[in-house]
Amino acid sequence: MAGRLLRRKIVAFLRARLTPEGYLGLHLTVGALVLIGATWLSGVIAEDVVTGDPLTSLDTTVSLWLHSHATPRLTAAMLVISYIHSTLGVIIIATGTGLYFWRQRRKSAMLVLVLAVPGGMLLNVALKNVFQRSRPVFDHPLLTFSSYSFPSGHTMAATLLYGTLAMFALSRIRAWHWRASAVMVAMFLIMLVGFSRIYLGAHYLSDVLGAIAAGLAWLALCLTAVDTVRRRRRL
């Protein structure tokens, strides 16, 4: 009897975690899984950076290859992309997006945006000062920098911004092909920003990968927290 009762409680618990209804249902389960997975991946990358594991050797190889194959036109394009996703550029885009959410009365989306983007950018600064990794060094650099390298601030900001926009699109779109398109566009833009930073010699590959992982973890935390509170208030 005790074993049967325990199994019933376990089944009931799992059903509650996997149902879309309720403020502690499927959304919290998925958010927790993404948060745990992204945090673990970010930790693995950070450990490789600190200990100088094989990933750092790949960093050097990729950076040197891109630097040796730089062209004036591609450099100009990457500079534009990088400039658009600078701190000022991201703040302007996020502010415009926030005003749109406010006019559409999408309070939850606006709150996620406010928590995710500015909060994530501050987190990035803190992580840079914790790891204090030097920027890539070249004999003839395309750009010069004085701040730390890991993780990439541009890439993390893009992950938070476009990740938030993708989640908003998913909440409004019902057709699966348009939902898939929204996610793919967000992924492409994030990878494009990351590539621009590696190409310009601002960051290593691991800086970009670490920024994406950390950004996803922070975004998952913000989304899950806001959605949980929103659902709680409806009960």
For the chain, the structural domain boundaries read 26-234
> How many angstroms separate the CA atoms of 127 and 120, rounded?
10
Q: Are the C-beta atoms of residues 234 and 23 closer than 8 Å to each other?
A: yes
Local confidence pLDDT in tens for the 235 residues of the chain: 555 554 554 444 434 444 444 444 456 667 778 888 888 988 889 888 888 777 888 898 999 999 888 899 999 999 999 999 999 999 999 999 999 888 888 888 888 999 999 999 999 999 999 999 889 888 777 777 878 899 999 999 999 999 999 888 887 878 888 888 988 999 999 999 999 999 998 899 999 999 999 999 999 889 888 877 776 665 4
Task: Read off the pTM.
Answer: 0.83
Instruction: Look at domain 26-234 and name its CATH class.
Output: mainly alpha
> How many angstroms separate the CA atoms of 88 and 91, rounded?
5
